[in-house]
Amino acid sequence: RKSNETLIGPYNLGSKRMADLCNAGEAFAAPLPRVRRKVEQKDSELKIDRTPATREALGDKAWTQAARCSESATPELGDVVHVLLAFTILTVISAFVLIAHGVHVTLVLPPLRCWLEIYIASALASSLNMFIAIITWVLPPHQWPVLSSLLLLALLPLPYLIPPAWLKFQAPCVVGALLLWIGVWKGLDAAGGTGPTVGARRTGFRSLAAFWHLIHFMVPVEYRRRRDGSCEPDLMPIGNRHWPVFAGRLICRGAAFAMLLSAGECTVELAGTGWAIDMMREYYHTWIIFFQLAMTTDSSDLALSIFGCTPSVTFRDPLTRGTSPSDFWGRRWNLLVHRLFRRTIFQPLVLRGVPAAAAAALAFFVSGAFHEYAFFAAPAGRLNAPWLLGCNFGFFLVQAAIVALEKLLEKYLIPRLPSSLLCAAASPVGKVMQTGCSTLLLVPFAWMFMKPLAELGVLHDMKQLFPKLVPVYL
């Protein structure tokens, strides 16, 4: 601190500005001893060794990854209980209002054939992923990159070859295409030498390494590796299984999804037209997509936890805790695909000197191509609605531009903001406002993502998968 002015980084700050920063620093530093005690207590519970000797032995990168992995090893329910409670209250209020106006409300059960077709499509995709696991075990892709890549890419058209007469619903083909694409991309990840199973020692089909290699491809969600850098999972200690937590989270999400569908049928689906109603409807559809993906990954988490593995986190409450577009896409929404793209697209390009913004834009572009491929696997898409091709490209390119704009503001605007505003943004109320702003940057463009799903009937199938209350006009 100086009396007149102080130089911090590239900014020349006056004494008043410096005093504000010092006061803010004292306010943040006050609870530091209490936070430090909590961290040390958590370290002792998780047996994390943060000593300099351990860090020097492991290396900075490995030490950081080990600490991060251990700190998030215990599963949490997150906001799923609060979401279930909120949607339950909304459903009860909506149903009572309809009944008070003379409208009958009935319970509609999901069609069993839709679930059966989804299970069959998932089983076929898992079988193909098992074939990919066997091929990549026999022919290590990093040793035969061109041959293995061509063989993997040849599997992608298979969902498009299913005759439309075999299916009554559109969603099963989309589910199968999604699972197959994840398996193929994991194979390409191994072919590029960036996959986690590249260093696995090929010791025969009956070895434990072959079993975990098979699990890596058949289960979409990845498991956490051991801290020593090997490809084997970081198994939970006996008696410290977390599968009841994952099972409870899956049950709560299913109940919350049923309440969301009931609340939507009693409110949003009965509304008229207008930009505000359309925004509410797109927000409602965003929650439907989130629940579908989250319950799929929760099922994978449950399967891995039964095997004793610690599954990697896939969703971190993106719609209730996301504070910015980059926080939403990079740290909360579908981290399974985020990790795959980061390993195979972003990091290799950045290491070759490509700017980070260009590498991130390419990752968004590939994500758009992935969604175009999956959505148009529905028979109605590839036969009757070719004009919808390109909607997902547009959505993800818009999101890439928004994230790039956020990074520019982070670099040039935020350092010049007053410290009082930064402190207010870090408060709980400020976090809620940031979540609202992040949602406002997502929902107005969600129609580009939802339009193919709605036009192809996939969204309609998603709304039928769980029991729901539906108003009936006599």
In this prediction, residues 199-212 reach a mean pLDDT of 67
Tokens 């699972």 belong to 179
CA distances from 160 to 186, 218, 317 (A): 20, 21, 33
Percentage of the chain exceeding pLDDT 70: 76
Per-residue pLDDT at 189 exceeds 50: yes
Contacts of 68 (CB under 8 A, 6+ apart): none
Beta bridge partner(s), residue 311: 223
Q: Which of 31-45, 140-154, 329-343 has the highest mean pLDDT?
A: 329-343
pLDDT of residue 16: 44
Per-residue pLDDT at 22 exceeds 80: no
pLDDT of residue 381: 66
pLDDT in tens, 71-111: 444 556 668 888 889 999 998 998 888 888 888 889 999 99
pLDDT of residue 141: 63
pLDDT of residue 118: 92
Per-residue pLDDT at 433 exceeds 80: yes
pLDDT of residue 215: 87
Per-residue pLDDT at 287 exceeds 90: yes
In this prediction, residues 175-198 reach a mean pLDDT of 84
In this prediction, residues 112-134 reach a mean pLDDT of 91
CA distances from 197 to 189, 202, 232, 456 (A): 9, 10, 9, 37
Range in 65-74, 303-312, 454-463 with the lowest mean pLDDT: 65-74
Percentage of the chain exceeding pLDDT 90: 22
The answer to whether 310 touches 223, Cβ cutoff 8 Å, is yes
In this prediction, residues 340-358 reach a mean pLDDT of 89
Per-residue pLDDT at 355 exceeds 50: yes
Average pLDDT over the chain, rounded to whole? 78
Cα(182)–Cα(172) distance, integer angstroms: 16
pLDDT of residue 15: 45
pLDDT in tens, 127-144: 999 998 888 887 766 667
pLDDT of residue 226: 66
Cα(120)–Cα(125) distance, integer angstroms: 9
pLDDT of residue 420: 79
The answer to whether 224 touches 234, Cβ cutoff 8 Å, is yes
In this prediction, residues 314-320 reach a mean pLDDT of 89
pLDDT in tens, 225-245: 766 555 566 666 554 567 888
CA distances from 468 to 387, 395, 465 (A): 33, 30, 9
pLDDT of residue 150: 84
pLDDT of residue 255: 93
In this prediction, residues 414-432 reach a mean pLDDT of 79
pLDDT of residue 120: 93
CA distances from 400 to 25, 323, 337, 359 (A): 34, 16, 16, 10
Per-residue pLDDT at 69 exceeds 90: no
pLDDT in tens, 391-406: 889 999 999 999 999 8
Cα(72)–Cα(58) distance, integer angstroms: 19
pLDDT of residue 116: 93
Cα(160)–Cα(184) distance, integer angstroms: 15
pLDDT of residue 68: 43
Q: How confident is the model at residue 37 (pLDDT cuts 50, 70, 90)?
A: very low
